[in-house]
Amino acid sequence: MRNWMWLPLLCMPFAVFAQTPDEDEERIEQIVRERYGPTQTEIDALALQGLGPDGQPLIDPATGLPVVLGADMVLMPITGAAPAVVAAAAIDPAAEAAAAEAARPPVGPIQFEDLSKLVGQWVKLKTYNGRVWQGQVKAVKGNEVQLTVTQRSGAALMTLKKNAIASLERI
């Protein structure tokens, strides 16, 4: 066959399987969710279930235990400074802070098991792949630790597994 005889076949339109607008919108939403995380509406819905933005239970920084929602508990965003909590019995804040500090491991090298005592404190860790991270311990769940690390554009919440951490240090 001569080459010019193939020309009509090349000009014929081919069926293209295009996505519907709804499928396209869902794909865009999935990409945005993967890149930026859940929306504020989704975060609020998770908070009402006692879960954080990552779908894990909310952790009380004071105890390191999951928060148990009660019927009288109201979740609301805090703007500005946190409200003062009035205790039933007057406790000396300086004595309470000294007792909490005494229960924490000293500054320097620590073990992974010590991290649950350091919620809210700053640590420095090195992973087995050589990365060094400094951050504030947000939660410890089983064999994972969540750190808030500061980066150029702000802060990020990182979750690292125990078997990825080569060394830990309280700073």
pLDDT of residue 138: 92
pTM for the whole structure: 0.43
Taking the C-alpha atoms of residue 120 and residue 62, their distance in angstroms, rounded to an integer, is: 9
Q: Which residues contact 32 (CB under 8 A, 6 or more apart)?
A: none
Most confident range, picked from 53-57, 82-86, 96-100: 53-57
Q: Per-residue confidence at 142, pLDDT binned at 50, 70, 90?
A: confident
- For 113-127, the pLDDT digits (tens) are 989 889 989 999 999
Question: Mean pLDDT over residues 40-59, rounded?
Answer: 77
